[in-house]
């Protein structure tokens, strides 16, 4: 499914859709468009677009500026780019071996390496999207300081990623019920208002 086809149902809820930061991020950079085509062939485009949309909406909701909203939209589109270096059949398995789990975990660092030269700040946001969950990776001790703008952008991206992942059915798991998603994310992020907003936005674009 082409990017525009994936994006259309996402943006139909936004009256200013042609100016939405996700669309701007995609249209204004040829390299990003090329990466989206690769994600489509790998089966990861839908998730990338939804995460970018949710992250941008969360950033708007907490009144970040336009530049920060565009940056987090890019981070959402590119956050799983490192998965392109992993055989897609691995993501269809119900259970992974330790070796396969380590390979999947490497997608974060791989994505960081792919993006850091073109978009250094975007890469710094992306690298933390699994650092807020129960099993945190890839960084152990050198995470960015709490209270900084960077850490807040990382947190918003992580909320968006977790929200979409848990509310999506995959070949290896069923979609979680909304009450369970809310409970789990509140335990992780301790921000009931933002979690409710993220879940509501996700439901508004995908039944």
Map tokens 């468009």 to a residue.
33
What pLDDT band is residue 139 in, cutting at 50, 70 and 90? low
Element holding 137 (H helix, E strand): none
Q: What is the pLDDT of residues 146-166, one digit of tens each?
A: 678 999 999 999 999 999 999
**By residue range, what is the domain housing residue 169?**
3-205
85 has pLDDT over 80: yes
DSSP, collapsed to helix, strand or coil, labels residue 26 as: helix
Which of 130, 194, 189, 136 shows the shortest CA–CA distance to 165? 130
Output the pLDDT for position 101: 84
Are 100 and 106 in contact by the 8 Å Cβ rule? The answer is no
For the chain, how many structural domains are there in total?
A: 1
Residue-averaged pLDDT of the chain: 88
**pLDDT per position as a tens digit, 162-198:** 999 999 988 777 899 999 999 999 999 999 999 999 9
For position 118, which CATH number holds?
Answer: 1.10.3210.10
Across 4-18, 23-37, 93-107, the highest mean pLDDT is recorded for 23-37
C-alpha 4/C-alpha 2 separation (Å) is 6
Number of continuous H segments (helices) and E segments (strands) in the chain: 11, 0
- Reading the block at residue 39, the tokens are 């994600």
């Amino acid at each position: 499914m082409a990017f525009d086809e994936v994006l259309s149902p996402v943006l139909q809820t936004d009256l200013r859709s042609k100016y939405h930061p996700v669309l701007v991020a995609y249209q204004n950079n040829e390299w990003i468009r090329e990466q989206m085509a690769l994600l489509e062939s790998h089966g990861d485009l839908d998730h990338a677009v939804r995460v970018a949309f949710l992250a941008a909406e969360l950033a708007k909701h907490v009144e970040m500026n336009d530049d920060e909203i565009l940056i987090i939209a890019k981070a959402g589109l590119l956050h799983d780019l490192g998965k392109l270096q992993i055989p897609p059949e691995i993501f269809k398995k119900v259970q992974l071996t330790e070796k396969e789990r380590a390979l999947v975990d490497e997608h974060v660092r791989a994505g960081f390496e792919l993006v850091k030269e073109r978009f250094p700040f975007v890469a710094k946001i992306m690298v933390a999207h699994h650092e807020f969950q129960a099993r945190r990776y890839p960084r152990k001790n050198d995470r960015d300081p709490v209270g900084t703008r960077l850490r807040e952008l990382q947190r918003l991206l992580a909320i968006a990623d977790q929200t979409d992942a848990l509310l999506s059915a995959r070949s290896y798991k069923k979609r979680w019920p909304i009450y369970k998603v809310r409970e789990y994310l509140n335990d992780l992020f301790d921000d009931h208002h933002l979690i409710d907003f993220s879940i509501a936005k996700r439901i508004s674009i995908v039944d």
